[in-house]
Each structure stands twice: as structure tokens, then as C-alpha cells.
Amino acid sequence: MIPVAKASRMTLRQLGAAATLKAMEAAGVEAADALYAANMLGDELQGQKQVAALIADEARLFGIEALQVQAATASGAAALRMAYLAVASGEAELALAVGAEKMSEGAAVPAITKSLDAEREVVTGATLISKNAELTRLYFERYAPPADALVHFPVNAHRNARHNPNALFRNRSVSPRAVRTARTIHPPLRLYDCSPICDGAAAVVLAPTDEARAFSPHPVRILASSVATDRFRVDDRDDPLALEAARLSAQKAFRQANVNRDDIDLFEVHDAFSIMTCLQLEAVGFRPPGEGWRLANERRIGLRGEIPITTMGGLKARGHPIGATALYQACEIVLQLTGHAGKCQVRGAEVGMMQSIGGAGTTVLTHVFGV
């Protein structure tokens, strides 16, 4: 992981190459067969396509297979899945999944909005932020939770980020009051309901389980990798608050990993917006619909809670450099499962799960890791 920054001094290619080389060094490998890269905004913000080949070139991995994967705001997880497929198929012995994003150049928000349906959502003036605002309003209208129901999701994220050296918001406490009274971004969303615009890159090295033991005495295993989609447009869904793709991809992943919800020791959610955390916890089944917000307190989602989430800060406080985000999640789960998460450690963590959401719930990827 490269520390997340508001505006990195490194260029997009430098960020990607630095994370790649750092991951290879950490894994003890000197070459790889393939590099799958995620980068959502490079064609708009840097005018750059073929980012995988660009990162490979910058990392001097000449000749290597290099392809870029795209699933809007879930792109990082798509790169992880592609590396997983390459290794599982026997096509690669060592595959790199790298994510890099440099959002500090140009207009990131309009570019992110391309996650929505251009013909039927964007033309109505919708943005990814406004769709999340709408879902938040709908949630409060339908279920009438207390006004501060979601406040502790960002409070928890910021509490955990304090001790993560790679987090954008290190050493900063955020009180419930600060969350409640922060400036409005897009009503009813306030500042701490939204993840920040930032730069970053992260990477992981994948190998077949047996081969991985040659590099590490305790490799972390990918127990499941799954993807599901919902109706593309929020308004086409039977229930806009149901996050059907999150439910489906979690179900697939649980079957594949042969685990159930109770086996999950920590869950890296896609907390790009507080409402997404809440809906995800409901979709995966940690609480029934309309009750996800009840988990939003230290005893439930804290490091020693019932289901620790955003254990190293999440998208909200570690940061959400989009294409890189899922690779940060993967790295953080590796730290947790190997006992290297420092003050963010979830004690005895053996099974970790992550979800990434493309757009307003359109594409969801679930990965489950175990030791």
C-alpha cells in the first residue's frame, strides 16, 4: 500500500508501479506472469487508457501480460478477481492485482457519475452523490430510525484510521457531534457521510496455494471470489434499498468459501457513503432490512464488536482512491489475518470478507479470505 494522500506528488503510473514493486518485495517475488490493473478515472483525468500496460512499463516488468479491468467504483475488486481467475485457471503462477487512482487532477465527481445510466439517470441531473442522498432520504422515510442513526459508521471508521499509517485521515478523532454538524454536501448528506477524493495505489500478489507456501510460511487464502449485478438503474429495482447484487454475491461467496455469516471475523464494507454501509450490512444479512443502522455503535462494529467493519478506516477514513480501494481492502485483510494490523488488529481474525460496489449498487464483488 502507498499511503493515501489528498494530492500525491507521484503521477498515476508512479503510484501504480510503486505499489506493484512494494507488493512484489513484500511477497519475495522478482517476476510475475501477469498484471491486472484497476483504474477508474484515468481516461478522463489523465487522458490515459491501457493503464495496466503503463504501470507494467513503469515497473519495468517488460513483456508481461497486462490488462485493465473496469467496474466503475468497484474496479479494484475486478482486478483482484481477474488475477484470481488467471491463477485458478493455471494460466498464471504469479499474478499481480494492482489498483491506482489519482483523483486530485481534474474534475473527479462528473467522471465518477459515469457509473450511472447516462441515458436514463444522468440526463435527469443525477450524480452518484445525489443517488446516495436519495437512498438515504428514502431509508429515513421508510424506516424512521433516529436522526443520528448512521452517525457512528463514520465515527468508527475514523477511530480505526487513527492508527493506520496508510490512511488519509491519520491521527484525527471525529466526534459524533462533528459528524452531525458538519457542512452539508448534498442534502441530506453531510461531509462525513461521503468518502474523500484522494490519490493512492495498492497491490497484491497471487499464487496457487501450494506455490504460495514457497514464498510465505502463512499465506492468506482467497476462499471465495464472486460478482453479481442488479438492475443497472436504481429506479428499475423492485426495492431500491435492497442492494440485491450485494446479497447475491455474498451468497455465492459464502457457498464457495463454505462459510456462513457467523464465521466472518471482519468485513471491509464499501462505505463510500454511510447509507451504503447500512444497506450492505442488511443485504448480507447481518441485520434485517431497516435495522442495519442498529449496528452503528462501537460495541457492534468496533474492533472488538460483533462484526468489525472498516477496521483500518474504510473508504471514509483510510480513503477511497477508487481503482485502488479494493486492493487496500485486500491488503488490510491480509494484515488482519496474519496478525500484523497493529492497533487496528481484530484479535484472532481467521476469516475476512470484503465487498466493493460499482455505481449505486449495480455491480457488487465479494471476496472472502482465510488462513
Between 11 and 104, CB nearer to a second copy: 11
- Residues 185 and 194: their CA atoms lie apart, in Å, by 8
Q: Closest approach of Cβ 53 to a second copy, in Å?
A: 5
Q: Closest approach of Cβ 97 to a second copy, in Å?
A: 13
Between 224 and 279, CB nearer to a second copy: 224
Helix (H, G, I), strand (E, B) or coil at 51: helix
Between 89 and 171, CB nearer to a second copy: 89
Q: Closest approach of Cβ 80 to a second copy, in Å?
A: 11
- Residues 184 and 158: their CA atoms lie apart, in Å, by 19
- Residues 311 and 287: their CA atoms lie apart, in Å, by 19
Q: Which residues bind a second copy (CB under 8 A)?
A: 11, 13, 34, 40, 43-44, 46-54, 56-57, 62-72, 78, 81-82, 84-86, 88-91, 111, 114-115, 117-119, 122, 225-233, 236, 244-245, 248, 358-359, 362-363
- All three cell numbers of 227, joined, read 460478482
Q: At what angle do helices 274-284 and 244-257 cross, to 10 degrees?
A: 50
Between 233 and 300, CB nearer to a second copy: 233
Between 40 and 334, CB nearer to a second copy: 40
Helix (H, G, I), strand (E, B) or coil at 38: strand
Q: Closest approach of Cβ 176 to a second copy, in Å?
A: 35
Q: Closest approach of Cβ 244 to a second copy, in Å?
A: 7
Q: Closest approach of Cβ 238 to a second copy, in Å?
A: 11
Q: Closest approach of Cβ 215 to a second copy, in Å?
A: 21
Between 240 and 302, CB nearer to a second copy: 240
| H or E element that contains 331 | helix 322-337
- All three cell numbers of 228, joined, read 453479481
Helix (H, G, I), strand (E, B) or coil at 350: coil
The number of C-alpha atoms within 13 Å of 196 and in the hemisphere containing its C-beta is 21
Q: How many CB atoms lie within 10 A of CB 59?
A: 24
| Phi, psi (deg, nearest 5) at residue 194 | -120, 140
Per the CB < 8 A criterion, the answer to whether 167 and 313 are in contact is yes
